[in-house]
Amino acid sequence: MLQLDVFIFKKNILELALKRLIFAENYQVSFMSKLVIVGTVAFDAIETPFGKTDKILGGAATYIGLSASQFNVDSSIVSIAGGDFPQDYLDLLSSKNIDISGIEIVKEGKTFFWSGRYHNDMNSRDTLVTELNTLADFNPIVPESYRDAEIVMLGNLHPLVQQSVLNQMTTKPKLVVLDTMNFWMDCALEDLHNVIKNVDVITINDEEARQLTGEYSLVVAARKIHDMGPKYVVIKKGEHGALLFHNDNVFYAPALPLEAVFDPTGAGDTFAGGFAGYLAKTGDTSFENMKNAVIYGSTLASFCVEKFGTERMQDLSSEEVLKRLLQFKQLTQFEIVLNDNL
């Protein structure tokens, strides 16, 4: 009985510590940084082996914003949408303490639309429709009150658009995080190299890291990307987790094994939002704290895939996040005794 009481006591202490970390109760409010999120707000139509949707809320900035909102940070989305973008979607973002004054609404235009079909393995997909619409003429305008933001999250857009955002900042951000994709490596490589020089963190998947560097080894690829400018390199490996590189330091975070993956759309952006949101909340951009940010990003991404689109992230509670963080801790924590006889 005594052993059981001790176990329950330790478990309660662990849960309290993690809960304090989630809400950053052990940080002063003054540490909280402004977060600028640049990316798409969009309509998605998704088909997976589990079902299909008509047009639903999507877009990189949407996923990033909803994920970062778990930390109640002072964030602003810079994006563009058409007059067909429902007010209810804007109200949803506002309800999450996300400033939407940087979302330009072109009343006579249409919102960016993407449709895709996932294969049975859920790792590969076919793009069925891409309609740029208002995004084709997107000229991002960062709200005046956010041009001194400490953290900038550059979602997947043309590198020139990403650079134009950095050019509007009145003070040098404490941390700039960039996401990109192989499409820009194919058609705007020089522009991509130019903006990469000006960022602190790059988040890409393993295929993109190999294409960007011409190296198969992700360790060598990360080293080459370091030489391009970023001090930190995050390489996402989908269901196999994520790697964080900084100089000669490497950190690996596994993906939480899930019973079912319903829709992987937006998982990478959700990871990025959790990563950037946690860093904005804590104000600590050290390598040690970035390890925590990777875990938070992975945790939040594991929720995103459980339902279609942004549905799971819209009503995600802090208690659910706490419970899954405990699962992550149990997944990765172990004790081992090393001696000369082994």
List of residues 6+ apart from 16 with CB closer than 8 A: none
Closest by CA position to 304, among listed 66, 118, 74 = 66
Cβ atoms 109, 133 nearer than 8 A: yes
Active site residue ranges:
269
